Amino acid sequence: MIDTKHKTDHFKGVGVLNPSDLIGKEYGSIFTVNTKEFYLLKPTLMDKFKALKRKAQIIIPKDAAHIILHCDITPGKTILEAGVGSGGLTTILASMIQPDGMVISYDLRSDFINHAQKNIDNAKLHDFVTIKEKDVTKAIDETNLHAIILDIPNPWDAVKHAWNALETGGTLCTYSPLISQVENTIKTMKQYSFIDIKTFETLYREMIVKEQGTRPSFDMLGHTGYLTFARKVTSELL
Ligand SMILES: C[S@@+](CC[C@H](N)C(=O)[O-])C[C@H]1O[C@@H](n2cnc3c(N)ncnc32)[C@H](O)[C@@H]1O
């Protein structure tokens, strides 16, 4: 919890830290809060992700990692996502396409847009994200996009616009919690010239390693959403 008046952070069960006390200290050095010792380390992308304030359900790292690989999200790429929600996936995408790529994010709701923009500003990624208040099922303004990622309840209604907006070979990805959504989406993808269509889900189970033995954690990140990927080709090839 941040105490803006006194510019200190309160950590439950640990104590109070004034972040300005850490300015000038080297990464790797040790600092203390009350009697407890901590290492000062450079924040990772995962740290930035954990610091996001959540408003809508976000796409979590186990799924985002596959989106990065299957959509080939690398520096310099221009990609579109809808909706922006809390900006969870946006933060990861923007970190991948910098320093000269762009993430264009559509959302219907201004309250989500404002919330996501704050998260993106806090992560210092504003130069790599353009948010538009737009319904992706009505139209997509951009063309020649490298990838489009849809996290909306009815992705099938945006498939036609996605086909028009993607470059040849570009990837469309949809993230849906329900199999019925996947079926509708794939049915529509097949009406356009999308190839290499595949759907899967990922399950994440941490291992607890102790001297007495190693076992899986009792907590497991199971079903979140089904990921569907498809690539655009020109209709003449089919
Ligand atoms: C589950 S949230 C997205 C979360 C986001 N992927 C993240 O990781 O933080 C779904 C968002 O899609 C938006 N949305 C729903 N239908 C839409 C549409 N047709 N066009 C644009 N945005 C839409 C909603 O307003 C909501 O903010």
d(CA 61, ligand 1 centre) in Å: 17
Instruction: Judge if the beta carbon of residue 188 lies within 6 A of ligand 1.
Output: no
Nearest CA residue ID for atom 24, ligand 1: 83
Percent of the chain at pLDDT above 90?
Answer: 80
The ranges assigned to domains in the chain are 2-42, 46-237
Nearest to 106 by CA among 76, 77, 129: 129
The predicted structure's pLDDT at residue 19: 84
DSSP 144: S
Q: In whole angstroms, give the CA distance from residue 108 to residue 203.
A: 30
Average pLDDT of the residues of the chain: 93
Q: In whole angstroms, give the CA distance from residue 202 to residue 187.
A: 22
Nearest CA residue ID for atom 5, ligand 1: 85
Task: List pLDDT tens digits, range 56-97.
Answer: 889 999 999 999 999 999 999 999 999 999 999 999 999 999
Which of 17-31, 67-81, 101-115 shows the lowest mean pLDDT across its residues?
17-31
Which of 48-52, 58-62, 104-108, 179-183 shows the lowest mean pLDDT across its residues?
48-52
Mean pLDDT of 222-227: 95
The three-point CA angle 206-211-215 to 5° equals 30
The predicted structure's pLDDT at residue 7: 66
Nearest to 115 by CA among 94, 84, 89, 136: 84
The predicted structure's pLDDT at residue 88: 96
Does residue 2 have a pLDDT over 70? Answer: no
The predicted structure's pLDDT at residue 15: 84
Q: Answer yes or no: pTM beyond 0.95.
A: no
Instruction: Judge if the beta carbon of residue 85 lies within 6 A of ligand 1.
Output: yes
Residue written as token pair 């009350």: 34
Q: Do 135 and 161 contact (CB within 8 A), yes or no? A: no
Which of ligand 1's atoms lies nearest the C-alpha of 83? 12
CATH topology for 46-237 is Rossmann fold (3.40.50)
Instruction: Judge if the beta carbon of residue 56 lies within 6 A of ligand 1.
Output: yes
Q: DSSP for 89-157?
A: HHHHHHHHHTTT-EEEEEES-HHHHHHHHHHHHHTT-GGGEEEEE--TTT-----SEEEEEE-SS-GGG
Which of ligand 1's atoms lies nearest the C-alpha of 112? 27
Nearest to 61 by CA among 230, 195, 221: 221
